[in-house]
Amino acid sequence: MKKFIAMLMAAAMMMAMVACGNTASNNGGNNGSNNSGSADEGGSTDGTVVIRIGGIGPLTGGNAVYGVATQLGAQVAVDEINALGGPIQFEYNFQDDTGVAETAVSAYNTLKDWEADIIYGCTTTAPCVTVAAETFADRYFQLTPSASSTDVTEGKDNVFQMCFTDPNQGVTAADYISANSLGTKIGVIYNNGDAYSTGIAEAFIAHAAEIGLEVVATETYPSDSNTDYNVQLNACKDAGADLVFLPIYYTPASLILAQASAMGYAPTFFGADGMDGILTMEGFDASLAEGLMLMTPFNADATDDATVNFVESYKKLSGDVIPNQFAADGYDCIYAIYAALQNIDGLADMDHEALCEALIAAFTAEDFSVDGLTGSGMSWSTNGEISKDPVVVVIQDGAYVTM
């Protein structure tokens, strides 16, 4: 009974906080926009349309670093577009899913309650697959910056990707290695607890067999919190692999590079887009990554105006963190949505369902293409997959050099 009363106390405390919270949330959207009251679709008197973009990704937990990157990358784009003062204005609300499907669904529903018009996310694959099924049923347009499995888009006409699909990356990597004869005996180390990593690795291995690339070792580890990769590296070394393919994120990759160097094993390492960011890790010894090749659509060191401006704005928002391709993909997502919205007539009268159909039509239109940080002339097929050119870079003297 005492416990019960204690629980009641807790409930009462919560209710009190709900009250505080509601007043707090009335203070407007995330980006300081002051028209949250009139934000609902309806055009205001001066003809501007406010579109609410709801973002989902992990802001806490082990994957937080990727979620924060997609959150802030999109924030940069939203701020820029709003500063233009054009007829389309964005409101942006990014919710934490902790990298878990169940939380992602409630984050999505929170955004529905906020009357979002477009869903941006999720960052990681597993939550994205679950949320995509929900947006498909509810008819929200969804664009994910980084969830790359084909399961995300399969059978859902409303879900689009900004990143390459996993099989696409695996096949591209195998073709590239074979065409440039980068290695004769290939080792693969991947995270078999992760859909992204497994997706690329399986496509790579299958395609390697087709084109006659010899894979001599296939090694796995169970999660990105794994710390010791000596066994996997030894297996590749013993099998005589002269190229090791690492379709994994950069956090575990930094450990693999360090441990390979400590054991005196120096094959060519070849990574996928998750490898981008390795040079931005605070304290990372760039000499370890010397000669590392990766497929990344984005290079933070590029000197074109768009990239320089983006990197500068991003650093201001993030407290001097250098953006990686997750952030750049997020930035491009917002601009792609912006470009598509400009092709739609009668935005002011649309609810999210009508907007969803209009955006699907706009994204898959023959002549629709977007130039962004992660590629130029990006276009989308009806199954939601992006078409852009893969870029392979090699790290020399601590910087990307395009091959």
Partner 1 sequence: MSFLNNVITGISLGSIYAIIALGYTMVYGIAKMLNFAHGDVIMVGAYVCFFATGSFGLHPVAGVLLAMVVCTILGMVIEGLAYKPLRQAPSLAVLITAIGVSWFLQNSAQLLWGAAPKVFTPVVSGGLSIFGGQLNISYVTILTVASCLVIMAVLSAFIGKGKMGKAMRACSEDKGAAQLMGINVNSTISMTFAIGSALAAIAGVLMCSAYPTLMPTTGSLPGIKAFTAAVFGGIGSVPGAFVGGLLLGIIEIFAKAYISTDLSDAIVFLALIIVLLVKPSGLLGKYVPEKV
Partner 2 sequence: MTAMKQARRLRKATVNSFINYAIVIVAFIILQILLGQDMISNSIQSMLVPVCCYIVMAVSLNLTVGILGELSLGHAGFMSLGAFSGIIVSTALKDVVEAEPLRLLLAMLVGAVMGGIGGVIVGLPVLRLRGDYLAIVTLAFGEIIKNVIMVLYVGIDGDGLHMATKEANLTLAEDGIAIIKGPMGAVGVTKIASFTAGFILILVTLFVVQNLVDSRAGRAILSLRDNRIAAESCGINVTKYKLMAFVVSAVLAGAAGALYGLNYSSTVASKFDFNTSILVLVYVVLGGLGSIRGSIIAAAILTMLPEMSFMRSSSLKDYRMLLYAVILILVMLASNNPVLRNAFGSVSKKFKSSKKQEGGAAQ
Residue 109 in the binding site for partner 1 (CB under 8 A): no
Residue in 61, 100, 175, 239 binding partner 1, rule: CB under 8 A: 61
C-alpha atoms less than 13 angstroms from C-alpha of 48 in its C-beta half-sphere: 17
For partner 2, the closer of residues 142 and 374 by Cβ is 142
Residue in 129, 177, 253, 393 binding partner 2, rule: CB under 8 A: 129
Stretch that binds partner 1, among 6-14, 167-175, 250-258, 302-310 (CB under 8 A): 250-258
For partner 1, the closer of residues 95 and 254 by Cβ is 254
Strands (E), 97-150: 118-121, 141-144
Residue 86: partners with Cβ closer than 8 Å, 6 or more residues away: 48
Residue 153 in the binding site for partner 2 (CB under 8 A): no
CA dist 268 → 211, 293, 400 (Å): 20, 8, 15
For partner 2, the closer of residues 100 and 255 by Cβ is 100
Residue in 41, 117, 194, 273 binding partner 2, rule: CB under 8 A: 194
Residue in 33, 36, 48, 64 binding partner 1, rule: CB under 8 A: 64
Tokens matching residue 264: 């005196």
Stretch that binds partner 1, among 48-56, 106-114, 140-148, 229-237 (CB under 8 A): 229-237
Residues 144, 134: Cα–Cα separation, whole Å: 14
User: Phi and psi (nearest 5°) for 176?
Assistant: -65, -45
Residues 339, 14: Cα–Cα separation, whole Å: 43
Residue 230 in the binding site for partner 1 (CB under 8 A): yes
Contact code string over 175-214 relative to partner 1, x by CB under 8 A: -----------------x----------------------
Q: Which residue has the tokens 């650093």?
A: 315
CB atoms within 10 A of CB 60: 13
Tokens matching residue 128: 């994205």
Stretch that binds partner 2, among 4-12, 43-51, 271-279, 337-345 (CB under 8 A): 4-12
Residue 246 in the binding site for partner 2 (CB under 8 A): no
Residue in 79, 80, 134, 357 binding partner 2, rule: CB under 8 A: 134
Residue 7 in the binding site for partner 2 (CB under 8 A): yes
Residues 242, 218: Cα–Cα separation, whole Å: 13
CB atoms within 10 A of CB 112: 16
Residue 202 in the binding site for partner 2 (CB under 8 A): yes
Nearest to 223, CA basis, from 327, 126, 149: 126
CA dihedral over 325, 327, 328, 329, signed as positive or negative: positive
DSSP designation for 279: G
Residue 95 in the binding site for partner 2 (CB under 8 A): yes
Q: Tell the smallest beta-carbon distance from residue 136 to partner 1 (Å).
A: 30
Residue 239 in the binding site for partner 1 (CB under 8 A): no
Tokens matching residue 299: 């290079």
User: Phi and psi (nearest 5°) for 387?
Assistant: -120, 110
Residue 251 in the binding site for partner 1 (CB under 8 A): yes
Binding site for partner 1 (CB under 8 A): 59-62, 64-65, 67-68, 192, 219-223, 225, 227-228, 230-232, 234-235, 238, 251-252, 254-255, 258, 262-264, 280-285, 319, 321
